[in-house]
A and B are shown apart, each in its own frame.
Chain A
């Protein structure tokens, strides 16, 4: 079963614009993570937000978490061509660090 549902499935924007993608999940969590996957590569961790946090920043990334709505958003500001990738949210669903559940991902394309 998929804990995380991501929206949109695909997003195409111009370089320099902001990109926002959303993740909804079904059960309570301890934390939520976002990962990036470049084409043909493994996933790379971007940011982790704990259930008692509402917003977190890392460079051009801004993540929000609304536990009452069971949703999170990832904002990438001032996008670059190198941001072209798939982005996945992952939750623990209170099952521990070893049982992450990933969403289906958002495919982001940055057009020059």
Chain B
């Protein structure tokens, strides 16, 4: 199993551009989440999903959209990138109701 796969690993955007961060898992996990990690801030939850077609907001959802059309994929869309969205983004998945989360390797995003 590949686990949780995130693409791209690195991305540089200009302010106002849009893009989609991809996340895919092959463990048949129902739950998937997106976090951002900023220096000295730990991880903060952006959006999460408890199954296909079901998503909800986390702690810092503004400026991001998600959808979950399949169990495997959970893309994160930046609608109009801002410098404040410069961060490292992590996708995670877990079994339904399980607290242990499995993380991807992350996408390092810079917005200029």
Contact = CB atoms under 8 A, between A and B. Distances in A.
A binds B: yes
Contacts of B99: 30-31, 33, 48, 92, 97, 100
Interface stretch (A38-46, A56-64, A67-75): A38-46
Interface string B79-112: 0000000000010101001111111111000000
Interface in B1-54: 4, 31, 33, 35, 40-45, 48, 50
Contacts of B59: 1, 101
Nearest to B4: A42
Interface residues of B, number: 28
Interface residue SS majority, chain B: strand
A2 interface: yes
Interface residues of A, number: 25
B102 A45 contact: yes
A100 B101 contact: yes
A99 B42 contact: no
B58 interface: yes
B100 to A, nearest CB: 5
Contacts of A42: 4, 90, 92, 103-106
A45 B106 contact: no
Contact of B106 (A9, A41, A88): A41
Interface stretch (A14-22, A77-85, A102-110): A102-110
Nearest to A89: B42
Contacts of A98: 31, 33, 48, 50, 56, 94
Interface string B53-76: 000101100000000000000000
Contacts of A9: 40
B91 to A, nearest CB: 9
Nearest to B105: A42
B14 to A, nearest CB: 24
Given A97-B31, A98-B56, A100-B101, 11 more contacts: A1-B59, A9-B40, A30-B99, A42-B103, A42-B105, A43-B92, A48-B100, A92-B99, A97-B99, A100-B99, A101-B59
